[in-house]
Amino acid sequence: MKVLAINGSSRKDGNTADMLNLVLGELEKEGYETEHIQLAGNTINPCKACFACAGKKNCVFGDDIFQELYRKMTEADAIILGSSTYSADVSSTLKAVIERASVVSDTNPGMFRHKVGGAVAVARRAGAMNTIDTINHFFLNKEMFVAGSTYWNIAYRRLPGEAMKDEEGVANMKNLGQNIAWILNKIK
């Protein structure tokens, strides 16, 4: 089974990447195939709301990395979306992924049905709950099973590498990975 993590942070290999890698590490221990895609440095254009994707199972515009990203999302058994918190929500890049994936899947129903979703947020101080909510609303609206942890899947710090010092955040990420593995084992 495949697990795809998408890092929506504007910083490559920063705190969000560290937290996603903790989640993926737990899944790899259980033998799951994992992939971690970082959106930093890539362009994801906003949805044009043209609905030309209806019946085509992917966006018709190939002027960015979305088509390949969406294909990988539909092939995965579990999707973990992670984002640093910007203005109390997900990054604009991850928001574009969520919006385009929503429209494509709405015009091609069932593409995410029964997949497992996991949300990860990193914040300096506040706003991370909105980030988690945005991601979980996407998962729930697409008929996915949402995995949780012992507390919110949030880590706090600012500079790259600092989130690894958030002991509770690190523990929550590892537990999230274990819970995703548990759900995947139940639905095999």
Q: Does the structure show a pLDDT above 90 at 188?
A: no
- The total domain count for the chain is 1
pLDDT 10s digits, 100-119: 999 999 999 999 999 999 99
CATH number at residue 111: 3.40.50.360
Strand-strand pairing, 145-146 and 78-84: unpaired
The residue segments making up the domain with residue 112 are 2-187
Contact 153, 118 (CB under 8 A): yes
SS3 117: strand
**Residue 154: what pLDDT?**
97
Stated pTM of the model: 0.97
The identity of residue 106, as a single letter, is: D
Task: For residue 67, give the H/E element and its range.
Answer: helix 66-75
Measure the CA–CA gap between 60 and 63, rounded to whole angstroms: 9
